[in-house]
Amino acid sequence: MSPVASTVTPAAVPPQLRAKRRKSALRTLGFLSPWLIGFSVFFAYPLIATVYFSFMKYDGFADPTWVGLRNWKYVFQDSPFFWPALTNTAWLILVMVTLRVAFGLGIGLLITKIKTGAGVFRTLFYLPYLAPPVAATMAFVFLLNPGTGPTNTILAKLGLGTPDWFNDAAWSKPSLTLLALWGIGDLMVIFMASLLDVPKEQYEAAELDGANAWHRFRYVTLPNISPIVLFAVITGMIATMQYYTEPLVAGKVASGVIGGSGQQFEPGYPDKSTLTMPQVIYNLGFQRFDTGAACVVALVLFTLAMVCTGILMRRRSGFMSAED
C-alpha cells in the first residue's frame, strides 16, 4: 500500500488551503457517493445480517430466536449436503480449474501461431463463452443424453464406450468440466493478449542459445505470463466456489424433475455429485425454510472467497497500484 496520507498537521495549514481541501474532500465524497451507498446497503449491511441470522432460528414467519451455535453445529456435523458440496468444489477446483487454465493457455498459444484465418478461428473459439449458461447447459445435457444424445450415438458408431454423463455420479462432474472447457473464450483472450506482450527479443535470444520450442515455452513464455496464470487460477477458484447455474440446471434437466407436478427438486442430482455451496444455500434458505443454516454456509463461502481474493491482491500489486 502506498502512503497517501498527508503528514502536514491541520494547524500549520493556512485557512485558504484548508477551505480548498475541504472542497476537494467534498468533491471526492460526491464522486464516490453512489458506491458508498451501494457498498453500505448491498454489501456491508447484508453481510452483518448474514452473521446475525447464522445464530438465529428463523423460518420467515415467526420472529427470529437466538439458538447460539446450533446452526453451525448442524451444518458442519449433521447436514447431509454441506460436506458433499465442499468436496465437489474441491474436485472442481483441482480438475476443472486446472484443465481450464491449461486448455485456455493451449488455445491462446494456438491462436498466436495461426497464420491464415486467425480472425475466423478466434471468433469460433470465443463464441461458446457467450452462450447463456442456462442455454449452454441444456444443450450439453441434450448432447450428452445417455440414451439418444448425439455424443453417445457417435461414440457407439466409433465402437467406443458410452458413459451416462450427467446421469452418472462418476461422470457428472467430468461432463460439467467439458461444458466449462467449451466456454474457454475468456481465458483464451486473456492468455492471447499476454502472450503477445512477451518481448520478442527474449525469444530471439533464447533461439540463439539453441533453445528448442519446449525450452522457449518453459524459460521465456511461462515466466512472462505467470502473473496471468495466477490470475486465471484464483479467479477460476472463486468462480468455482460460486458455481450455481450450470450444475443446478444440469441436475434438473437430467433428472427429469423440473417444474410440473409440484415435485420438489433437491439439487445435486445424481447422488449429490453436482452439489455446490450456493445450491446448498438455496436449498436451505429457500426450500427448507432454514434461514440460519443457509447463512452459515454463506459465511463459509464468504470466508473461502475472501481468502482467495486476499491472495490475489497480495500477489498482483498491479491490481491495486494507482498513479500518484
Partner 1 sequence: MRRNRLAIAAAAASIAVLASACTGSGGSAASDDPNATTTLTFWHGWSSPGEVAAIEKNIAAFEKKRPNIKVKVVKGITGDKLNQALRTGGSQAPDVVSSFTTDNVGRFCTSGALADLGPFLDKAGIDPDTTFLPQMAKYTEHDGTRCTVPLLGDAYGLYYNKDAFNEAGIKEPPKTLSEFDKIAEKLTKTKGDGYERLGFMPTYQGYETTVEHYGAQFGVTYFDADGKSNTAKDPAVKAMFSWQKNLVEKLGGFRKLDRYRTSLGDEWGPKHPFHTGQVAMQLDGEWRGKMAADADLDFEVGAAPFPVPDDQVDDYGKGYLSGTILGIANTSKKQNAAWELVRYLSTDTDAVVSFANDIHNVPSTTAALKSPKLNSDPVYRTFVDIAQHPKSSHAPSSVNGGAFLLTLQDYGVAYEKGREKDLDAALRKNDAQVDKDNEQAQAG
Partner 2 sequence: MTRTMKMSRTSQTLSRGALHWIAVHALAVAASLFFVLPFLFVFLTAVMSDDQALTRDLWPRTWEWGNFGTVWETPGFLTWWRNTLLYAGLGTVLAVCSSLPVAYALAKFRFRGRNVMMMVVIAAMMLPPQVIIVPMYLFWAKQLDLAGTLWPLIIPFAFGNAFTIFLLRQFLLTIPKEYTEAARIDGCGELRTLLRVVVPMAKPAIAASALFHFFYCWNDYFGPQIYASENPGAWTLSYGLESFKGAHQTDWNLTMAATVLVMAPVIVVFFFAQKAFVEGVTLTGVKG
Among positions 166-205, residues that touch partner 2 (CB under 8 A) are 182, 185-186, 189-190, 193-194, 197
Exactly one of 14, 15, 30, 119 binds partner 1 (CB under 8 A); that residue is 30
Exactly one of 140, 165, 166, 269 binds partner 2 (CB under 8 A); that residue is 140
Nearer to partner 1, 74 or 182 (CB): 74
Told to check if 260 binds partner 1 by CB under 8 A, we report yes
Q: Where in 259-288 is the site for partner 2 (CB under 8 A)?
A: 259-260, 277-278, 281-282, 285-286
Residues 274/92, Cβ–Cβ less than 8 Å = no
Residue 269: closest CA among 140, 172, 139: 172
Question: Which listed range, 44-52, 97-105, 117-125, 129-137, lies at the site for partner 1 (CB under 8 A)?
Answer: 44-52
Told to check if 273 binds partner 1 by CB under 8 A, we report no
Exactly one of 8, 17, 25, 37 binds partner 1 (CB under 8 A); that residue is 37
Told to check if 122 binds partner 1 by CB under 8 A, we report no
What, of partner 1, partner 2, none, does residue 214 touch, CB below 5 to 8 Å by kind? none
Query: In angstroms, rounded to a whole number, what is the distance separating the alpha carbons of residues 6 and 113?
Result: 51
Q: Is 46 helix (H, G, I), strand (E, B) or coil?
A: helix
- Least Å distance, CB 233 to partner 2, is 12
Told to check if 64 binds partner 1 by CB under 8 A, we report yes
Q: Which three cell numbers stand for residue 318?
A: 498491479
Q: Where in 1-30 is the site for partner 2 (CB under 8 A)?
A: 1-2, 4-6, 24-25, 27-28, 30
For 6-19, b where at least 16 C-beta lie within 10 A, e where not — what string?
eeeeeeeeeeeeee
Q: Where in 47-106 is the site for partner 2 (CB under 8 A)?
A: 47, 49-50, 53, 60
What, of partner 1, partner 2, none, does residue 22 touch, CB below 5 to 8 Å by kind? none
Residue 232: closest CA among 308, 156, 141, 123: 308
Q: What is the radius of gyration, based on Cα positions, of the chain?
A: 25
- Least Å distance, CB 24 to partner 2, is 8
Exactly one of 92, 107, 180, 206 binds partner 2 (CB under 8 A); that residue is 107
Residue 217: closest CA among 105, 134, 322, 296: 105
What, of partner 2, partner 1, none, does residue 176 touch, CB below 5 to 8 Å by kind? none
What, of partner 2, partner 1, none, does residue 160 touch, CB below 5 to 8 Å by kind? none
Residue with grid cell 458506491, as numbered in its chain: 35
**DSSP track, 74-98:** IIIII-TTHHHHHHHHHHIIIIIIH
**DSSP track, 112-167:** HH--SSHHHHHHHHHHHHHS-HHHHHHHHHHHT-TTT-HHHHHHHHTT-----GGG
Amino acid symbol at 54: S
Nearer to partner 1, 197 or 271 (CB): 271
**Which residues 6+ apart lie within 8 Å of 229 measured at CB?**
101, 105, 222
The 8-class DSSP code of residue 56 comes to: E
Told to check if 50 binds partner 1 by CB under 8 A, we report no
The 8-class DSSP code of residue 267 comes to: S
Told to check if 210 binds partner 2 by CB under 8 A, we report no
Residues 138/249, Cβ–Cβ less than 8 Å = yes
Question: Which listed range, 87-95, 202-210, 214-222, 247-255, lies at the site for partner 2 (CB under 8 A)?
Answer: 247-255
Residues that bind partner 1 (CB under 8 A): 30, 33-34, 37, 40-41, 45, 49, 52, 56-57, 59-67, 70-71, 74, 78, 80, 145-148, 164, 167, 169, 254-257, 259-264, 266, 270-272, 286-290, 293
